[in-house]
Amino acid sequence: MVDTQALECSVLVLNRFYMAIRVINVRRALTLLYRSGAEVIAIEDDQYVNYDFDSWCEVSQLHGLDKQPDEDYLRTPNFEIQVPRIIRLTRYEKVPKTVVRFNRRNLFARDQHRCQYCGQHRPVSLLSLDHVIPRSLGGKTNWENIVCCCVSCNSRKGGRTPTQAGMKLLSKPVKPQSNPALATPLKDPRYASWKSFLPQAVAVPYDNG
């Protein structure tokens, strides 16, 4: 059995030059580590410490004896591994992307998993994406016309514009200037170590309302 909360953690990926390039899930991070294209970067006593997969497994055993509230562990029947917060691709030299990719994950992150009509925060399973101006009325599929929306607001709105449905958007949807997927975890103390690797412009949470 695997700990689902731990599996939902995010991991910051650095390139060879310690530049933040993206955020991935734990499963993907562990795969990268295991295949030795990556190493864990941990901050210990204000110093960066690098661990390969084997040494990270060893250190996980030690940390596991005295678990801290800001640590997550993945438990399987045979072993337990501490969830890394940062990994570094030791052979990857490309520089970070500056364009924010238009996808579900980034749309949800931009809107902070909050329905843009009723304001409720919801898990991804209870969220959908809404075309503010419906496609049937010529609405585009882009940053400016798609918002995060809970399932019930979405069905209430149906194929209408917000005005027609008597609903109001909390804020005007815009294209984010920096990767919104980076902003959400920064509010969580478990991801404090990310701050060292993110430029100030990225570290500012995306908050439009």
Are the CB atoms for 161 and 132 separated by under 8 Å?
yes
Between 107 and 182, name the residue whose CB sits nearer to Zn ion: 107
Are the CB atoms for 169 and 147 separated by under 8 Å?
yes
Name the 3-class secondary structure at 130. Answer: strand
Between 85 and 131, name the residue whose CB sits nearer to Zn ion: 131
Binding-site size, Zn ion (CB under 5 A): 5
Element (H, E) at 127: strand 127-131
Pairing label, strands 47-51, 38-44: antiparallel
Between 14 and 109, name the residue whose CB sits nearer to Zn ion: 109
Residue 132 CB, shortest distance to Zn ion, in Å, is: 13
Residue 112 CB, shortest distance to Zn ion, in Å, is: 13
Q: Which residues between 124 and 143 bind Zn ion (CB under 5 A)? A: none
Angle ∠(35,39,202) on CA atoms, nearest 5: 120
Name the 3-class secondary structure at 83. Answer: coil
> How many other β-carbons are positioned within 10 Å of the β-carbon of residue 26?
20
Residue (of 4, 12, 2) closest to 190 by Cα position: 12
Q: What is the DSSP letter of 191?
A: G
Residue 8 CB, shortest distance to Zn ion, in Å, is: 22
Tokens of 83: 């969830």
Residue 138 CB, shortest distance to Zn ion, in Å, is: 24
Name the 3-class secondary structure at 60. Answer: helix
Residue 116 CB, shortest distance to Zn ion, in Å, is: 8
Q: Which residues between 165 and 204 bind Zn ion (CB under 5 A)? A: none
Residue 147 CB, shortest distance to Zn ion, in Å, is: 10
Q: Phi, psi at residue 166, to the nearest 5°?
A: 70, 35
Taking residues 85 to 124 in sequence order and writing x for each that binds Zn ion by CB under 5 A, - otherwise, the string is ------------------------------x-xx------
Between 117 and 206, name the residue whose CB sits nearer to Zn ion: 117
Between 38 and 150, name the residue whose CB sits nearer to Zn ion: 150
Taking residues 143 to 172 in sequence order and writing x for each that binds Zn ion by CB under 5 A, - otherwise, the string is -------x--x-------------------
What residues make contact with Zn ion under the rule CB under 5 A? 115, 117-118, 150, 153
